[in-house]
Structure 1
Amino acid sequence: MATVRRTSCNLCEAICGVLVTVESGRVTDIRGDEADPLSRGHICPKAVALRDLQEDPDRLTQPVRRTATGWQELGWDEAYAYVASRLRAVQETSGRNAIGVYLGNPNVHSVGAMTHMPAVVRLLKTRNRFSATSVDQLPHMLAVHLLYGHQLMVPVADIDRTSYLLILGANPLASNGSMMTAPGFGRRLKELRKRGGRVVVIDPRRTETAAVADEHHFVRPGTDAAFLLALIHQILLDGSARPAAYVDGLDTVEEVTREWTPERAASVTGIAAGDIRRIAREFAAAETAACYGRLGVSTQQFGAICQWAVQVLNVITGNLDRPGGSMFPRPAVDTLRGIGRGHLGAWKSRVRSLPEFGGELPTSVMAEEILTPGDGQIRAMVTIAGNPVLSTPNGRRLDEALETLDFMVSVDPYINETTRHADVILPPTPPLEREHYDLAFHQLAVRNTARWNDAVLPRPSESRHDWEIFRGLGLALLGSAGGGLRQKAITALRLRLSPRRVVDLGLRVGPYRLSVRKLRRSAGGVDLGPLQPALPGALYTKNKRIHLAPALILDDLPRAASVLLAAAPADDGLLLIGRRHLRSNNSWMHNSARLVKGKPRHQLLMNPADLSARELSDGQLVEITSASGVISVEVAASNEMMPGVVSLPHGFGHNRPGTRLSVANQVAGASANDLTDSAFTDPVAGTAALNGVPVTVTAAPA
């Protein structure tokens, strides 16, 4: 007999509600949940692929240990004890910072990882902590930390009520929002247009979103800062600024942007001065407006300036904390209370002296911290739900570095390009076997909602949830750790609490006084209403005021002017950017035949004029060369590319030996991060510059 069970898809930030039909213990259908107040029935192909993850024969279900004769299974308790003893042995020999920890972005999509992983990381007491943050959204977090006092106090575009949406370096028709949870973005965009709103996209590629916008402008990769500074300049020059009374530093912002005229920005960006001036005036004059910048403006060498400027633009036009502008969600579980406000430069990396942010060092230094001898050299790695060989800069060098470690453990369900180096792999259960409450993305949602999801399928007796893995590993580490008995007891108690208990406590003390029981009784979740104004009371700044001109950003503006004004590509040079596709998700959704079938999506996109100038043809195998490496991949002619710019998607390159990814290996493609340079960063925060990478493209040798 078939039963229909409610859950949500937690594979990306959209957290769409889904209805899963189960018959005889197997999933037979997945469709959107119309009762979900946030997604309203929307799903994308990734949600349907939840079934593929569940049934994937390559997915591990028990711990495995690498031996001279191959991978061998071992028991869970044996695995915990072995991993804990090896990690402690490395620290006893080489110091506590000899362990490195890398956290991949799937961690924020799992309630068990969110509630239990931090305790295990703290037990290791290492400063060599890394995560996908510094190849993704770190400039967002730095900007809001400086302006609003908390690293996760990220305002989102109130898209359901705005009348003017300015998008830079984002493709929400493919992502359904990112650092802005907006499932069904296409429908929301149609509703915006129907009420007379306007959408303007600034991007080096005519993306799916740009193609349906009212206006799209190509921008030279890495120059978005010039465009944003010119917008701010023009609005201040026109006298159109109307910041709130709790905003300071406007005079300083006016002074530092005085020379960034539209004409100056035009010479840098390729966008006409008249268009820059008009967009500035339209944005300032709109009834409500929101500027939204995402990955394209973050993962470049001026990411911190870009994200600061996005915030400044919203603030000075009076659109921050205003319905239809840029607003702060109020989730049912207040995650800001449980996570630190953030700090920058409390310590620095050993080799290159790049600053930590929020307790993590930039991933761009990870390989050198493993390979460079000396006190504090990383000799063991813990990777949790990440594949940094494919997703971090200069992945080939990191691949080589992982091979030199004394020990490595991975919490991951697959033997992939990174975990193939591990000595032990601890696989967690797949999404459909886990309970879930989204702690991360309700904090970024365009509407306040709450939803608890029971597991759709039972967990097999031999499997463990991720929180159970962290509990077992944490208790094993506690047994060999020093320190007081009281602190050990508190940590052990926290590890033994289930995620359901943790979430329930958070809901009960949260702003709506909910509970897991109440949410379970609500079909599709609870609608808590549209975003509401919250400032200045919600600010985490000491005086409940916003200071628009932090010295950290101002001190970097001269560098930006010098580099941007002097930048000129070589005669045969091109600039490489990434791209996102609806049927792909970084490096971890390529083992689903349902998602990878159809037209190839791993090709290099190039403007036909650039192909012709190099005597290349559509579909030809080409060689792409950067300062860091050389790869070969097929090229595809595309008029959606700005001349002088090429695009290669992130997360492909499944062609290393020793992986167990049967589908992904058939569509291997090439890794864009074999071209990115770990030395090419935004020095303010250490963010990897994955966009605007200089490359040359030639015919591959016969």
Structure 2
Amino acid sequence: MAFTTTPGADGDHITYCRVCEALCGMVATVADGKIVKVRPDRDNPHSRGHICVKGPALAEVTYDPDRVTTPLKRVGGPGEFEPVGWDEALNDIAARLSASIDRHGSQSFAMNTGNPPSMGWPSSMGNYLFSRAMDCTKLFTPSSEDITSVVLATELIFGTHGFVFPDLAQCDHLLIFGSNPLVSHGSLLIAPRFKEDLVEIAERGRVIVVDPRRSETARKFEHVSIIPAGDVWLLGAMVQTVLAEGLADMDFVERHCTGFAELKAAIDWITPELAAPRCGIDADEIRTLARDFVAAPRAAAMGRIGICRASYSTLTNYFLHLLNVLGGKFHKPGGVGWGHGGTATEAQSTGPGHARHKRHSSRVSGQASVWGTQSSLTFLEEMTTPGEGQIRTLLTVGANPVLSMPGGPRLPEGFALLDMMVSVDLYMTETSRHAHYILPATTALEREDINQFFMNHMVRPFAQYVPAVVPPTGQARGEYEILRDLAARMGRDGAFGNMTPFEMADGALQAGIEGQDGLSLAKLKANPHGVMIERGRWAFDFEKRIGHPDGKIHLWDDIAGDEVARLRAEPDPDPNMLRLINLRKLRSINSWMHNVDKLVRSDSPALLINPVDAAARGIDDGMAVKISTQWGTIEVVAEVTDEVRQGCVAYPHGWGHRGGWQGANAQPGRNLNEITPSTPDQAEQVSGMSWLEGFPVEICAA
């Protein structure tokens, strides 16, 4: 079949989805200059014809009548805008940003970045280079609702931030904690056909899903039901079992690790008997899970967002790493390790004292920063607290913190104090309606791209370049172009250099371990469906990726020690307490695709509650109920189901729209962040991670 590479030309265009990390291959058909159909690319060697319902919906986002396609200037209160030309907008923004920074200092500027631009290479590079151009130290991202705790745990143990993930292709025994890959398609590991991988692992051995909810993945495989936020106790007891029963791979430990004796002494009290009532799993079953894991020759333990956002999320991920390392599963076929993709594999050492940790902590509460980003729970205090470094100017790029951040509904209090707020976005969202300017960005189908940003955590390394399918709608521009132009008008474009994002990507490809075999941008353009990287997953020396100055994996760390001491002082759980967890559905992705009717028409959010808990509160299926915490109360609809265990309730995030998108506004549901722990003292102090899984709630009939 012939394909065209000219944006907007009639015919079939090869592209790929940028809704989530799976990056599935797609073919978009254009007729009369408009996308009329999006289907899976069956010739893509990575996704092999797989896409989910969200990929084709990108075409509907592209042509959404509610989409912002011309620069808008606010002329009244929030949501009151009128069109303006690009030059007028950028000149005024540049002048007002510069004037405010001159008055209040470089620390008064902040950025908040999010989806969807984070899934694109030039967009991500634009955010990064603009933050450098502005000397921005107040960077807010979804990290503290997503990955901060696993990033910190990885830094403490390995001295680097490269993500560790399982070798699904060769694994025979997979433990899954707090992840639902049949819906998420994976995160921090890329495997478009995740379901097939899991089925094949189960046929060879076992797939065990540890979750408070009988999720879509748990239903398909072995389910171990756990008390919400009990994973820290389960994993701690599993590691203790490995140590107490002499099951650790001591040959690997002695050659590559330090801190074994300190670790063993520090956690000997976390016995399965102690952990059992705190995680809801029998002591014998805990020991069996640990023994079976170590005994399986090709085994891996993975976790994701469900264990990243509880009250001990860093320690939970720390224990998960230890289980893999001590169990002899690190950097081995079928086990876990880093990926190499097609780029260089040198360590990103943080040096002595974990230099990245707390580098830009809050000037107000002192809440920790990780990976250069501040905790979301410090956003409001940084805007409203006077003094040197108070945020006075703000740029948001594809971010909607009013819906996506804990305490988000209160952020407009801070927005009202700003000298200048600019939003680069697809829509007038609950956040961007408060901006002084909204600058229209392109959708994924309106820009060229390369999957460079994600290559290092692919189960099967793969590279692809795609041109834009159609030109930008209206006056929309790519985030990279917008931010480079704005930086130039401020005299700050030196950080962008003289290379395009694709020249940068090409340099990285050719300098990487695949470059010697000819991997380059030119090769990708000559192979539009993408190129599998043939070198094996383990074809590099992992010791070169260790970032600690001594070149060792650190099994013990003082920060981990403080967290273990905090865990030891934790009071016994209240058996009558209801704890809330988040859930995700296939048709939803955070908050930014709820204006697509095909996705939301059958995706009404509801509170899942166990029949026993419902009966005790006089709640029937379909009844309106109130969810209350010390931070607020929302009214939602209940769904009585044994899908969640007793003591657990579940509700999705990203709903409760009040922006400039009429379809989304008409949907039911409430903003979960109206009731989540929302002040800095409620975050995990060591990492700044938001507490979004397993926090206590009260439920009653409305």
TM-score over 0.5 for the alignment?
yes
Q: Is the 8 A contact 1:43 1:184 kept in 2?
A: no
Counterpart CA distance in 1 for 2:346 and 2:425 is 27
Residue 325 of structure 1 and its aligned partner are, at CA, apart by: 0.4
Q: CA deviation at 1:339?
A: 10
Instruction: Quote the Cα distance in structure 1 between the aligned partners of 2:189 and 2:687.
Output: 21
Give the structure 2 partner of residue 309 of structure 1.
Answer: 319
- In structure 1, how many angstroms separate the alpha carbons of the residues matched to 2:473 and 2:137? 36
Candidates 18, 29, 43, aligned match of 2:37:
29
Q: What letter corresponds to residue 333 of structure 1 in structure 2?
A: T
Say if 1:63 and 1:424, in contact at 8 Å, map to a contact too.
yes
Partner of 1:121 in structure 2?
Answer: 131
Give the counterpart of 1:609 among 609, 612, 630: 612
2-side partners of 1:403 and 1:584: how far apart? 30
The AA in structure 2 aligned to 1:682 is: E
**One-letter amino acid of the counterpart of residue 247, structure 2:** S
Report the equivalent of 1:566: 572
Pick the aligned partner of 1:432 from 445, 460, 473.
Answer: 445
Deviations 1:360-411 (A, max 9, x none): 2111111122122333222222111111111111222223332333321111
Tell me, which stretches of 5 or more residues in structure 1 are unaligned? 482-487
In structure 1, distance between residues paired with 2:317 and 2:298: 20
Contact persistence 2:346–2:544 (CA under 8 A): no
- Map 1:626-637 to 2 at 5 A: 626-637=629-640
Find out whether 1:263 has 2:269 as its counterpart.
no
Please report the TM-score for the alignment, with normalisation by the length of structure 1: 0.93
Provide the residue aligned with 1:101 in structure 2: 111
Quote the RMSD (CA, aligned, Å): 1.9
CA contact 1:346–1:356 (8 Å) conserved in 2? yes
The verdict on how the C-alpha distance between 1:338 and 1:425 changes in structure 2, with shifts beyond 3 A counting, is farther
Q: Which of residues 535, 541, 544 is equivalent to 2:542?
A: 535
Deviations 1:528-567 (A, max 9, x none): 134115322332332322111111111211111212x433
Change (3 A) 1:337 1:454: farther
* Aligned match of 1:508: 510
2:96 is the alignment partner of 1:86: yes
The residue aligned with 1:686 is 688
On the 8 A contact 2:159/2:349 being kept in 1, the answer is: no
| Amino acid of the structure 2 residue aligned with 1:584 | S
Q: Does 2:674 match 1:671? A: no
Q: Partner of 1:447: helix, strand, or coil?
A: coil
Shift of 1:73: 1.4
Question: What is the aligned partner in structure 1 of residue 5 from structure 2?
Answer: none
**Cα distance in 2, alignment partners of residues 335 and 326 from structure 1:** 16
Equivalent pair of 2:160/2:348 in contact (CA under 8 Å): no
Q: Following TM superposition, by how much is the alpha carbon of 1:338 offset from its aligned partner in structure 2, in angstroms?
A: 8.8
Match of 1:417 in 2: 430
Task: Note if 1:148 corresponds to 2:158.
Answer: yes
- Shifted more, 338-347 versus 517-526: the winner is 338-347
Return the letter of the residue paired with 1:677: P
Name the residue aligned to 2:625: 622
CA distance in 2, matches of 1:675, 1:172: 27
2:237 and 2:275 in contact (8 A); partners too: yes
Aligned mates of 1:562, 1:343 — CA distance in 2: 28
| 1:54 CA drift (Å) | 1.2
Query: What one-letter code is carried by the residue in structure 1 that aligns with 2:128?
Result: P
> 1:441 deviation in Å?
2.0
8 Å Cα contact 2:130/2:495 also seen in 1: no
Counterpart of 1:485? none
Paired with 2:495 and 2:322, the residues of 1 have a C-alpha distance of 41
SS of residue paired to 2:461? strand
Q: Which of 136, 143, 166 pairs up with 1:157?
A: 166
> What is residue 20 of structure 2 aligned with on the other side?
12
Write the distance in 2 (CA, Å) between the matches of 1:122 and 1:248: 36
Aligned partner of 1:581 among 585, 598, 603: 585
The alpha-carbon distance between structure 1 residues 324 and 335, as it changes in their structure 2 partners (threshold 3 A), is: closer
Percent identical among aligned pairs is 35
Aligned partner of 1:484 in structure 2 is none
1:66, 1:423 within 8 Å by CA — same for their partners in 2?
yes
Query: Structure 1 pair 435/444, CA: closer, same or farther in 2 (3 Å)?
Result: same
What is the deviation of 1:122? 2.0
| Number of corresponding residues | 679
CA contact (8 A) 1:123 1:477 kept: no
For the 8 Å contact 1:158–1:323, the answer to whether it is kept is: yes
SS of structure 1 residue aligned to 2:652: coil
TM-score, L = length of structure 2: 0.93
Aligned residue in 2 for 1:56: 64
Q: In structure 1, what is the Cα distance between the partners aligned to 2:350 and 2:277?
A: 41
Aligned to 2:235: 228
- Equivalent position SS for 2:168: coil
Q: Out of 184, 187, 200, which is 1:175 matched to?
A: 184
Q: SS state of the match for residue 200, structure 1?
A: strand
What amino acid does structure 1 have at the position aligned with 2:220? V
Task: Output the CA distance in 2 between the equivalents of 1:666 and 1:10.
Answer: 26
Instruction: Pick closer, same or farther for the CA change 1:408–1:599 going to 2, 3 Å.
Output: closer
Whether the 8 Å contact between 1:620 and 1:634 is mirrored in structure 2 is: yes
Cα deviation digits, residues 233-274 of structure 1 (max 9, x gap): 111112111052212222222112211111111021111111
Unmatched segments (≥5 aa) in structure 2: 1-8
Question: Which runs of structure 2 are paired with 1:400-549 in the superposition (5 Å)?
Answer: 400-460=413-473, 462-478=475-491, 490-491=494-495, 493-494=497-498, 497-513=499-515, 514-529=519-534, 530-532=536-538, 534-549=541-556
Retained in 1: the 8 A contact 2:452–2:463?
no
